[in-house]
Structure 1
Amino acid sequence: MGHAEDEDDPRLAAEGEVAVARLAIDSGDLTHAADHLADAIVADPQLPELHEALAELCAAAGGPAAARELFPLEGQVYLGTVVCRAHVEAAAGDWDSAIGLLASAIQYEPAQPWAHTAWLAREDLPSLVDPDAVAQAVARAAGPLPDPLPGELADTVRPFHAFVQAVVERHGDHPLLLAMASGLTRRLGATTRAVELAERAHRLAPGYLPSVMLGNALRADGRPEQALAVWEAELGRTPPEEDDSSGYLAVDVAELYGALGRPAEGLPWLDRVLAAEPGHPKAGPARHALRHAVDGDPAHLLALADHHRAHPEHEYAHELLERLSRRETWLGMVAGATEATVNLMRQVLAEESTTRETALDCSASALEPPSTVLALHLALPRSTVSYEAVGEPDPRVPLAPGTSLWTWDGTDPRPAVAPPSADAAELVRATAEIVWPTVPAAYDHAVRLAGLPVEDLLGVLVHPPLPREDELGRALLSHQPELWVRAVQTFACLGLAHHRTDQPWAESDRRRLLSDLLLGPEDWVVEAAGFALLAIGWTHPDTRPDVAGLLGRRLRHLATARLTRTVTIQRSFAALTLAAPWLPPTDRALAHTLLRPAPAAPSPAAPAQPRPGFLRRLFRRR
């Protein structure tokens, strides 16, 4: 038990390693002692006993210079070995090596307080180091750091920054040091100082690196137009067609135009880069992103996904796709619900007096998707819903015969399939999400459901489990249970998308099942199945023509139905189909039409758009 506690407490773990190291020193096994000290310094870099033991090890080895060989740097080197070697080099007076190794530790694990060490704060240290070595160390440490640094990381890096500033004060005419120091200073939020350092570097040695750093500092300081001027002047001296490194600067220029709301002005820069280097790892993805900024067409996001699938080493394409998909309906999150039952449920849930024992007797003028009842019962299980009329075409009737999830007693929907097994329900519960990074990421995330029986995946569509017992799950249950129902249905259908992937698509069970659900009764499940088909199209381009035909058929039916009755899923389904840019132009134009509010077309049974207050008066609480 004590050993487990040590692993949970870094300081206890470090103290244990130091104790073993001291025993090894006493026995003369210095290599063994060095290994334990390397483990200790990773656990707690500031433990006083650790540094005392490191000094004892150096003494036992015959001095710091001799102790170097106990912390070798050949091949793949353990982080603790690097940090211990840095302290040994400092003890030996080889300050340039010590600074470089400390910078390497910051580079690989910036959250640890490596720089909180007494020797780095020595007042005479800036006079003892080579500014070239310090500039290289700063480049190594700062390169991978976030910009700007979050508070905790800023605290761990600040002593290193203070040392660098002291060296700058002593070597203020060193262009490389000034440029590198500007980058570190910018990350710590001192943007005015970063501009000052970069301007000095640029005056001393106009060129590519000082220009890049000055532009970055100006942009961070809220002066993007000045940054553009600096960068474009540099590209005038070293065009991307003549210098490979200038290609990355041209990408920065293009993206800065995008950030300024002028993406079209950035596109020519990317065209120049791609003309010189068609396989540039950032220019192609950046061009797709800027074209999306120009016209908002999801086709450019699909192009990013296709680019990353063809070039998995181009992580920038994936990064941009995540950024542009975030919080976009279906591209990065489940669609909301607009049904009257859902709207009233939200109002009731917002009241302080509401509990899970609250019961509603709800009566609506026209039939709604049956999954609305699932959402209501999830939050308020004692409630009932009744419907006064069914519009035409009858939303209960599937577009084609196939897998059936619902049966009706008049207008009362009941699940037509058995509940899933407890294990299957729990796996779906653990997998379902209301947001996802990208469409391909959602598809990949659902692969864990591939082994579930079809019966379980169908069952969970109409017998959704309660949300997870975490902060988000409790919030969904208390305020928007419909989002959780939609998330469960979405990921259950994605699970079906992974069913028997060994079968050729055209004759596969997964195609048949998803097609049945897409063309089934009008319900949220239609959209869940549509999203699963969409995800298959995004990740398997050869399926796109078939997916287009399926989605288009449902879209056209909704367009027809909305002429004679309310179609509550028309806008969210239209948004889904627009996320499939390979659909024919006529279907895409129709989807854009459906995104607009439906025309007021009366149903023979009931008003499609009830007058204000109509639904509210029909709903009763008991």
Structure 2
Amino acid sequence: MSGHTEDEGDERLAAEGEVALARLAIDSGDLTHAADHLGDAIIADPQLPELLEALAELCAAAGGPAAARELFPLDGQVYLGTAVCRAHVEAAAGDWDAAVGLLASAIQYEPDRPWAHAAWLAREDLPGLVDPDAVAQAVARATGALSDPLPAEPAEAVRPFHDFVQAVLARHGDHVLLLAMASGLTRRLGDTARAVELAQRAHRSAPGYLPAVMLGNALRADGRPEQALAVWEAELARVAPAGDDPSSYLAVDVAELYGTLGRPVEGLAWLDRVLAAEPGHPKAGPARYGLLHALDGDPAHLLGLADHHRAHPEHEYAQELLERLSSREPWLGLVSGATEATVNVLHQVLAASDTTRDTEVECTASTLEPPSSVLAVRLALPRSTVGYQAVGEPDPRLPLTGPTTRIWVWDGTSPRPAVAPPAPQSAELVRSTAEIFWPTVPAAYDHAVRLAGLPLDDLLGVLVHPPMPREDELGRALLAHQPELWVRAVQVFACLGIAHHRTDQPWEGSERRRVLRDLLLGPEDWVVEAAGFALVAIGWTQPQTRADVAALLQQRLHHAARARRTRVVTILRSLAALVLVAPWTSDEDRELARHLTAREDAADAEAAQQEDQEPERDQEQPEADEPDEPDAPKPEEPRPGRLRRLFGRR
């Protein structure tokens, strides 16, 4: 069996083709053209033996490696393949410092490629041929863009460079800058104890800002955050942070470490000092929102991060922090899950080993559920049927108001689409756009701009005629295990597409507002949640719409709260979550959302306990009396580190 993947085989074939063209160019004397082909070849397969042989042939044809340098110029726009070829040429010419530096730049730009797997980098005599200052600078360049810790694949790609640096340290063990930089590289490769040792040696030799920073980072990674705090606070006491002094960034790190330790109040004091000296500090302001969120979990602080980044797009840390805090949080970073009994049955059937797409299932639920749950069943098991025995009160088939947009009709308790399927090209664009995860709410809104040009009828059609999941690993997993998440993702992005419809129209009175309002206040369905999220996303990105969005969300939430007194409302918890991620809603509405969520959680816990104790009994329990919920007032109509990226792709 071959050890290469199909992609690796394709890359090797591409590299071999480029090498063949390069050799033809060398034979014809067109050395510049040959160099271009070798630059493309080394991108495709950096370790291809024929490539290195052809590079040696090119150097010979140019009159030697020193003369061949001009074939791989480093001025102006420099392509990655050009830089890596130049590194090999510099090594052949014996300019080891330049060769190592260029290799480090390639690692910085694309760390998961095996640039460091070069035979010359493993020469036993090389550590004695390089300047430790140059190596320290190269390590700083390479590690600047590396994640901490490195995943397995890039770690394996970078390891030969790390081994070379360790060999240089064996000869220059008192070089403070090299010790400090090597600590950072070693930490990223997971050897935190060694990273601490290297940083301690640097700090003992020359106590100061950089050794202190690296030592604190190593201690934190090694599971010793209190010791890291002590090192950093001692350094800050030595040099008080002020203005754009680098120590102000260290103060932010101290503050966030306090947050990690569960002591955000102490961290806020550090941030307040930085902001008092520099109100526009690019990290302290965003970090303050992060610590406030650590205190109470209020999404208002995440909205503050989004507003901060929109006002200061150059403050990239606000976006980074918002992504981190939104990750895997319902509606903030992923589509909320479904709770219908129909979906639970679907999961049980799909979990059976003998289930195929031809499996026929007859599912009967006691009371009517959102019709989109039927879409999920039929997506995975198209020959199945779903029936309902009764309709709860208030009737979930009825809209809250008299909408002009209808996507469902009912034949008794059987739902069917009220709109035609979308055009195939429209369905395919939604299929390629929909996601169950997104980095942030504004990112989801921005991603859906791809759908802005679709006809409104097609966006409505895809809500009730969802395309099949994409034919990739995630799509296959969703279809096999949780098809409802795909249906919900399609509906979410279709509604976000509606949010981009005719944005030339002012929000008040716009077609996009009218349609999203109709969907939000329409029959009880997953589309209600999707439209609600689209409205929330509009509010996150367009502050002038927030009051209107709050009023619309309020109307839907209060209706659901009243309906829950007499029947199950499967979308209630998700509606409450939408209100909570729209922090501009009223205090009373957010408190109601928290109360309803707690009630649903308690009911679920009670049902689970009863199921454990009496598995043979019917699990339905009479509803407890609920406190009066407030009547809903009618709504008014009417957005790198210091080392820059050096290279681009052809």
TM-score normalised per structure 2: 0.86
Aligned twin of 2:259: 258
Residues 340 and 615 in structure 1, CA contact (< 8 A), matched pair in contact too? no
Aligned twin of 2:482: 480
SS in 1 for 2:409: strand
Aligned twin of 1:585: 587
Aligned twin of 1:465: 467
* More displaced stretch, 362-371 vs 429-438: 362-371
Aligned twin of 2:366: 365
Amino acid in the other structure paired with 1:139:
A
Cα deviation, residue 160, structure 1: 1.9
SS in 2 for 1:597: helix
User: Is 1:405 equivalent to 2:407 in the alignment?
Assistant: yes
Residues 408 and 415 in structure 2, CA contact (< 8 A), matched pair in contact too? yes
**Match for residue 532 of structure 2 among 530, 533, 538:** 530
Q: CA 1:446/1:62 → structure 2, altered by over 3 Å: closer, same or farther?
A: closer
Aligned twin of 1:443: 445
Aligned twin of 1:311: 312
Residues 21 and 34 in structure 2, CA contact (< 8 A), matched pair in contact too? yes
Aligned twin of 2:240: 239
Alignment of 1:384-423 (within 5 A): 384-402=385-403, 403-423=405-425
Cα deviation, residue 595, structure 1: 0.6
SS in 2 for 1:397: coil
Deviation string 1:154-181 (CA, Å, 9 cap, x unpaired) is: 2222222222112211111111111111
Cα deviation, residue 24, structure 1: 4.5
Q: CA 1:552/1:59 → structure 2, altered by over 3 Å: closer, same or farther?
A: same
Aligned twin of 1:106: 107
Aligned twin of 1:502: 504
- Which whole-Å CA distance do the structure 1 matches of 2:416 and 2:451 have between them? 25
Q: CA 1:393/1:11 → structure 2, altered by over 3 Å: closer, same or farther?
A: closer
Cα deviation, residue 288, structure 1: 1.1
* More displaced stretch, 397-406 vs 569-578: 397-406
Aligned twin of 2:632: none
SS in 2 for 1:492: helix
Residues 421 and 462 in structure 2, CA contact (< 8 A), matched pair in contact too? yes
Q: CA 1:415/1:116 → structure 2, altered by over 3 Å: closer, same or farther?
A: closer
Residues 6 and 13 in structure 1, CA contact (< 8 A), matched pair in contact too? no
Deviation string 1:91-131 (CA, Å, 9 cap, x unpaired) is: 33332222222222222232333333333233332222222
Cα deviation, residue 59, structure 1: 4.1
Q: CA 1:279/1:365 → structure 2, altered by over 3 Å: closer, same or farther?
A: same
Amino acid in the other structure paired with 1:555:
L
Aligned twin of 1:73: 74
Amino acid in the other structure paired with 2:183:
S
Q: CA 1:280/1:93 → structure 2, altered by over 3 Å: closer, same or farther?
A: same
Residues 185 and 194 in structure 1, CA contact (< 8 A), matched pair in contact too? yes
Deviation string 1:206-249 (CA, Å, 9 cap, x unpaired) is: 00000011111111112111111111111111122266211221
Q: CA 1:445/1:89 → structure 2, altered by over 3 Å: closer, same or farther?
A: closer
Q: CA 1:56/1:449 → structure 2, altered by over 3 Å: closer, same or farther?
A: closer
Q: Which runs of 5+ in 2 are unaligned?
A: 1-5, 604-610, 621-650
* More displaced stretch, 159-168 vs 66-75: 66-75
* More displaced stretch, 21-30 vs 286-295: 21-30
Amino acid in the other structure paired with 1:125:
L
Cα deviation, residue 547, structure 1: 0.4
- Which whole-Å CA distance do the structure 2 matches of 1:286 and 1:39 have between them? 42
User: Is 1:180 equivalent to 2:166 in the alignment?
Assistant: no
Cα deviation, residue 32, structure 1: 4.0
SS in 1 for 2:78: coil
SS in 2 for 1:595: helix
- Which whole-Å CA distance do the structure 1 matches of 2:202 and 2:602 have between them? 67
- Which whole-Å CA distance do the structure 1 matches of 2:601 and 2:235 have between them? 56
Amino acid in the other structure paired with 1:261:
G
Aligned twin of 2:436: 434
SS in 1 for 2:468: coil
Cα deviation, residue 505, structure 1: 0.5
Cα deviation, residue 275, structure 1: 1.8
Q: CA 1:525/1:10 → structure 2, altered by over 3 Å: closer, same or farther?
A: closer
* More displaced stretch, 72-81 vs 228-237: 72-81
Cα deviation, residue 566, structure 1: 2.1
- Which whole-Å CA distance do the structure 2 matches of 1:372 and 1:309 have between them? 37
Residues 6 and 12 in structure 1, CA contact (< 8 A), matched pair in contact too? no
- Which whole-Å CA distance do the structure 2 matches of 1:16 and 1:356 have between them? 44
User: Is 1:167 equivalent to 2:162 in the alignment?
Assistant: no
Identity of aligned residues (%): 79
Aligned twin of 2:344: 343
Deviation string 1:271-321 (CA, Å, 9 cap, x unpaired) is: 222222222222222211121111000011111111222222222222222
Residues 356 and 380 in structure 1, CA contact (< 8 A), matched pair in contact too? yes
Amino acid in the other structure paired with 2:93:
A
Q: CA 1:400/1:195 → structure 2, altered by over 3 Å: closer, same or farther?
A: same
Residues 364 and 615 in structure 1, CA contact (< 8 A), matched pair in contact too? no
Amino acid in the other structure paired with 1:234:
E
SS in 2 for 1:399: coil
Residues 365 and 615 in structure 1, CA contact (< 8 A), matched pair in contact too? no
* More displaced stretch, 414-423 vs 228-237: 414-423
Q: Which runs of 5+ in 1 are unaligned?
A: 602-608, 617-622
SS in 2 for 1:272: helix
* More displaced stretch, 371-380 vs 438-447: 371-380
- Which whole-Å CA distance do the structure 2 matches of 1:391 and 1:118 have between them? 74
Amino acid in the other structure paired with 2:559:
H
Q: CA 1:205/1:390 → structure 2, altered by over 3 Å: closer, same or farther?
A: same
- Which whole-Å CA distance do the structure 2 matches of 1:583 and 1:218 have between them? 43
Cα deviation, residue 586, structure 1: 1.0
Aligned twin of 1:604: none
Alignment of 1:177-256 (within 5 A): 177-241=178-242, 244-256=245-257
Cα deviation, residue 142, structure 1: 1.8
Aligned twin of 1:93: 94
Cα deviation, residue 12, structure 1: 4.2
How many pairs does the alignment contain?
605
Residues 332 and 438 in structure 1, CA contact (< 8 A), matched pair in contact too? yes
TM-score normalised per structure 1: 0.90
Q: CA 1:349/1:211 → structure 2, altered by over 3 Å: closer, same or farther?
A: same
Residues 21 and 36 in structure 1, CA contact (< 8 A), matched pair in contact too? yes
Alignment of 1:286-301 (within 5 A): 286-301=287-302
- Which whole-Å CA distance do the structure 1 matches of 2:133 and 2:183 have between them? 15
Amino acid in the other structure paired with 1:566:
V
Q: CA 1:410/1:65 → structure 2, altered by over 3 Å: closer, same or farther?
A: closer
Deviation string 1:190-216 (CA, Å, 9 cap, x unpaired) is: 211111111011011000000011111
SS in 2 for 1:506: coil
Aligned twin of 1:606: none
Q: CA 1:6/1:219 → structure 2, altered by over 3 Å: closer, same or farther?
A: closer
Residues 573 and 600 in structure 2, CA contact (< 8 A), matched pair in contact too? no
Amino acid in the other structure paired with 2:374:
V
- Which whole-Å CA distance do the structure 1 matches of 2:399 and 2:362 have between them? 28
Q: CA 1:514/1:66 → structure 2, altered by over 3 Å: closer, same or farther?
A: closer
SS in 2 for 1:138: helix
User: Is 1:557 equivalent to 2:559 in the alignment?
Assistant: yes
Amino acid in the other structure paired with 1:497:
A
RMSD: 2.8
SS in 2 for 1:507: coil
Deviation string 1:450-501 (CA, Å, 9 cap, x unpaired) is: 2222222222222333333333333333333322222222222112111111
- Which whole-Å CA distance do the structure 1 matches of 2:7 and 2:20 have between them? 13
- Which whole-Å CA distance do the structure 1 matches of 2:72 and 2:466 have between them? 57
Residues 326 and 332 in structure 1, CA contact (< 8 A), matched pair in contact too? yes
- Which whole-Å CA distance do the structure 1 matches of 2:305 and 2:367 have between them? 42
Residues 563 and 599 in structure 1, CA contact (< 8 A), matched pair in contact too? no
Residues 243 and 278 in structure 2, CA contact (< 8 A), matched pair in contact too? no
Residues 562 and 598 in structure 1, CA contact (< 8 A), matched pair in contact too? no
Aligned twin of 2:643: none
Q: CA 1:126/1:443 → structure 2, altered by over 3 Å: closer, same or farther?
A: same
Q: CA 1:420/1:116 → structure 2, altered by over 3 Å: closer, same or farther?
A: closer
- Which whole-Å CA distance do the structure 2 matches of 1:389 and 1:85 have between them? 75
Residues 220 and 228 in structure 2, CA contact (< 8 A), matched pair in contact too? yes
